[in-house]
Structure 1
Amino acid sequence: MMILNIGNAFSQTSLTESVSSTIHENQIGIGMGVFNLGLFIAQELGTSVAAKLLDVSFLNFPFHPFFLTEQSFAYTNVTLFMLEIILYSAFMYFFVSRRAIVENFV
């Protein structure tokens, strides 16, 4: 989880720079406010969803072959689930930003 939080700090910094460079100069204040509001809501929802996923019992199965203690099943499965979401989000970000660069180039 600590590695995910460090990665979150780096991605949040780069996303903030990307958003501020995308918005027109006279709308940066409003755009960054809306961006930070959405980021805050997403962080709170992510924390709530992770806590609820750790609370339910259907995640107590050995999905990862290296963790064999029953107490670690839910934490490992939630971490792998969040990692999948992060990888999907990164793929979509690069796909959309690459398409925007190609459209601006043509």
Structure 2
Amino acid sequence: MVLVLGVGIEPGTPLAHLQEAVGALGLDGVDVVATIVTRASEPAVLELAAGRLLRTYPASELDTVDVPSPSAVVRRLTGTGSVAEAAAILAAREHGGGVLVMPKQRGRGVTVAVAR
């Protein structure tokens, strides 16, 4: 089963902050990185996704996913209540899964979640 990392990131967040958040998850590796369309060109996301499949979703599609930890702040900023969890679930569904195995974890300027 494919392991998907969902990423929510503030614009301009350094790669080191994203790597720190991912490292705190204790994963052996991920197959897919997923995020919102508006963050697809963020340098940290592109660098983290190098060599992996990068999936992006519009806010309207992310907003259809039922997640355990929606955020009013994220909704105000992006138009959806969840980026990391919803993106991880959607990308995992594309590979025959769709179960959130690690709910969102916050880091410095980032949020990460994992689905299978």
TM-score normalized by the length of structure 2: 0.28
Structure with the greater alpha carbon radius of gyration = 1
TM-score by length of 1: 0.30
